[in-house]
Amino acid sequence: MITKKDVLHVAKLSKLEFNEDEIDAFVENMDSIVGYVNTLSQIDTSGLEEELTAVNLDDLRQDEVQPSLPQESAILNAPKKRNGGFSVPQVVE
């Protein structure tokens, strides 16, 4: 069973803040999700073949080289550009 303490812990890890009503809703929703997963885990799947993907890979299109945007067009509306590319804030120190 999911508790308010569990929701607050996840919120802290996610650096999110919620009011009391939102916390109560998350407790109910997360408990429902965990309950559904528990129900699924009780299904006997021993007679089923294991699948590695949810999509039939034979149904996908073939990779083909196609012309792409010119570099100037790709970065035309970028808020910041550097050396002919996108300039973004550093995320790894």
Segment 59-79 mean pLDDT: 91
Please report the pLDDT score of residue 81 as a whole number: 94
pTM above 0.75, yes or no: no
Q: Inform me whether the pLDDT recorded for 52 exceeds 90.
A: no
Please report the pLDDT score of residue 26 as a whole number: 96
Query: Which amino acid is located at 64 in the chain?
Result: E
- Tell me the residue range of the domain where 17 lies: 4-41
Query: Does a structural domain hold residue 16?
Result: yes
Q: Inform me whether the pLDDT recorded for 50 exceeds 90.
A: no
Query: Does a structural domain hold residue 18?
Result: yes
Please report the pLDDT score of residue 13 as a whole number: 94
Segment 11-29 mean pLDDT: 96
Residue 64 to residue 62: CA distance in whole angstroms: 6
How many CB atoms are located within 10 Å of the residue 26 CB? 19
> What CATH number should be reported for the domain holding residue 8?
1.10.20
Query: Does a structural domain hold residue 11?
Result: yes
CB 2 within 8 A of CB 31: yes
Q: Inform me whether the pLDDT recorded for 80 exceeds 90.
A: yes
User: How many domains are contained in the chain?
Assistant: 1
Query: Does a structural domain hold residue 57?
Result: no
- What is the DSSP annotation of 12-69? HHTT----HHHHHHHHHHHHHHHHHHHHHHTS--TTSPP-S-SS-GGGSPPP------
